[in-house]
Amino acid sequence: MALVLHSTNNNKNASKALIAAEYTGVKVELAKNFEMGVSNKTPEFIKMNPIGKVPVLETPDGPVFESNAIARYVTKLKPDNPLFGSSLIQYAQIEQWNDFSTTEIDANIARWLYPRLGYGPYIPPAEEAAVAALKRALDALNTHLASNTYLVGESITLADIIMGCNLSIGFGMIMTKSFTKEFPHVERYFWTVVNQPNFCKILGEVKQAESIPAPPSKKPAPAKEPSKPKAKEEPKKEVKKEEPKFEEEEEAPKPKAKNPLDLLPPSKMILDEWKRLYSNTKTNFREVAIKGFWDMYDPEGYSLWFCDYKYQDENTVSFVTLNKVGGFLQRMDLARKYAFGKMLVIGSEAPYKVKGLWLFRGKEIPKFVMDECYDMELYEWKEVDINDEAQKERVNQMIEDYEPFEGESLLDAKCFK
């Protein structure tokens, strides 16, 4: 008998087991034609879980309910599964974070979100308490993630699967950018985790909520049923007053607005030509690539920017720092058509310095990049003065990975092209 998960395919609690199954190599099938509110009310389902909640995992040895227990069961099917860590202390820490994720993160997101969706009484003082408790939990999580890429160890564990799924409903439905920007390490962690291939396969593309759901109105909706006498009056029966709404719904969708950068005047600099020159130059880099860059550069159509990470003192672990930069470049993919970048991780010992050089289409940093890539706020940005020979030479050194850079060795240099 195959493992059958009774749930819809968009339930974040079911996703915990499905993601764990992807990492473990176990096949878990979703129950066919499962309908929430119907399938979980049948006698067969109630026999598996007396209170009718989902998800429930049907196994050859009997049913298992409660999402964390299901995820543990699936993970345990593989002996010595790295999702449980490599030692007893790591196993304990994973379970520690699973409990924290459930009681401090998931519970407080639910206390904030569900009343606004109408699944419980909306009481402003209760909401204030929920938000305060959630912020306290996120602050603790943020502190831990300041020096850790993942919750436990140096790779994904069950703790990250459960935390990522619990955070996904918060990020996706109520935790807007203005809320989460107070917790930059949680932001970096969340987007790093949910962009892992096994997460993407189950969760799909995760987008952050743009607004907080409005609380339900206390005013009762006015009755729309006309009285019987009025229903008999022929003039009142003209139902064509719905036509404006019908026309509005049937209106052809408006074409997607072009990126403002596509509307700029043509530039003599062709970004793809520079990227090809950079990639194909293997020798005499200064004479070929750097000279070619300045021959191509168009200050009217492009701008150059230095960036410096604001929290250099936090870069105490090399692999965490490298992952931080790698995640930034991954999230900058939305600007690939309009940008070229170099990111340097500098120093032979902690704290490591992260500095970068970016070429953007247009005479300022594109607004859509500033709005959509949260990492931008973690850096100080300064436009390059190309008339300053010292700054121009700094550009040259960053493009060619010159070492020592500003008197220090390079731990790594990453290119965005």
Report the pLDDT value the prediction gives residue 43, as an integer from 0 to 100: 92
Co-location of 400 and 297 in the same domain: yes
Report the pLDDT value the prediction gives residue 6, as an integer from 0 to 100: 95
What CATH number has the domain bearing residue 299? 3.30.70.1010
Report the pLDDT value the prediction gives residue 239, as an integer from 0 to 100: 46
- Other C-beta atoms closer than 10 Å to the C-beta of 204 total 12
Domain-terminating residue out of 153, 170, 203: 203
Ranges under pLDDT 70 in the chain? 1, 218-257
Go through the chain and tell me how many residues it has: 417
Co-location of 304 and 350 in the same domain: yes
Report the pLDDT value the prediction gives residue 319, as an integer from 0 to 100: 84
Co-location of 97 and 72 in the same domain: no
List the domain range (segments joined by +) for residue 314: 271-416
What element of type H or E holds 276?
helix 271-280
Helix and strand element counts for the chain (H, E): 18, 9
Report the pLDDT value the prediction gives residue 201, as an integer from 0 to 100: 93
Both tokens assigned to 132? 């305060």
Residue 259 covered by a domain: no
Report the pLDDT value the prediction gives residue 244, as an integer from 0 to 100: 40
Co-location of 402 and 339 in the same domain: yes
Report the pLDDT value the prediction gives residue 228, as an integer from 0 to 100: 52
Helix, strand, coil tally for the chain in percent (to 5): 50, 15, 35
pLDDT digits (tens, 9 = 90+) for 302-354: 999 999 999 999 888 888 888 889 888 888 888 999 999 999 999 999 999 99
Bond prior to 55 in cis (omega within 30° of 0): yes
Report the pLDDT value the prediction gives residue 226, as an integer from 0 to 100: 52
Report the pLDDT value the prediction gives residue 248, as an integer from 0 to 100: 37
Residue 298 covered by a domain: yes
What CATH number has the domain bearing residue 61? 3.40.30.10
- 125-149 in b/e burial notation, b at 16+ Cβ within 10 A? eebeebbebbeebbeebbeebbebb
What CATH number has the domain bearing residue 142? 1.20.1050.10
Co-location of 386 and 275 in the same domain: yes
Nearest to residue 395, comparing CAs of 350, 349, 351, 340? 340
Residue 230 covered by a domain: no
Co-location of 312 and 357 in the same domain: yes
Co-location of 303 and 412 in the same domain: yes
Domain-terminating residue out of 77, 99, 117: 77
Torsion, Cα 22 28 30 32, to 10 degrees, reads 140
Report the pLDDT value the prediction gives residue 218, as an integer from 0 to 100: 59
pLDDT digits (tens, 9 = 90+) for 106-129: 999 999 999 999 888 889 889 999
Co-location of 308 and 411 in the same domain: yes
Torsion, Cα 322 324 330 334, to 10 degrees, reads -140
Both tokens assigned to 281? 């130059």
Furthest-apart CA pair in the chain: how many Å?
A: 92
* Interaxial angle between packed helices 107-116 and 158-173, expressed in degrees from 0 to 180 and rounded to the nearest 10: 20
Co-location of 73 and 117 in the same domain: no
DSSP H helical ranges for 146-270: 158-173, 177-180, 184-194, 197-203, 228-232, 243-250
Report the pLDDT value the prediction gives residue 45, as an integer from 0 to 100: 93
Residue 235 covered by a domain: no
Co-location of 137 and 191 in the same domain: yes
Over 18-87, what HEC string results? HHHHHHHCCCEEECCCCCCCCHHHCHHHHHHCCCCCCCEEEECCEEEECHHHHHHHHHHCCCCCHHHCCC
Question: Is this structure's pTM higher than 0.85?
Answer: no
Domain-terminating residue out of 77, 109, 134: 77
Report the pLDDT value the prediction gives residue 222, as an integer from 0 to 100: 52
Nearest to residue 400, comparing CAs of 290, 274, 272, 276? 290
Co-location of 58 and 113 in the same domain: no
- Other C-beta atoms closer than 10 Å to the C-beta of 103 total 12
Give the number of domains in the chain. Answer: 3
Residue 352 covered by a domain: yes
Residue 193 covered by a domain: yes
Across-strand partners of 345?
Answer: 354, 412
DSSP-based three-state secondary structure for 243: helix
Nearest to residue 101, comparing CAs of 180, 16, 22, 17? 16
Co-location of 407 and 284 in the same domain: yes
Residue 226 covered by a domain: no
Residue 154 covered by a domain: yes
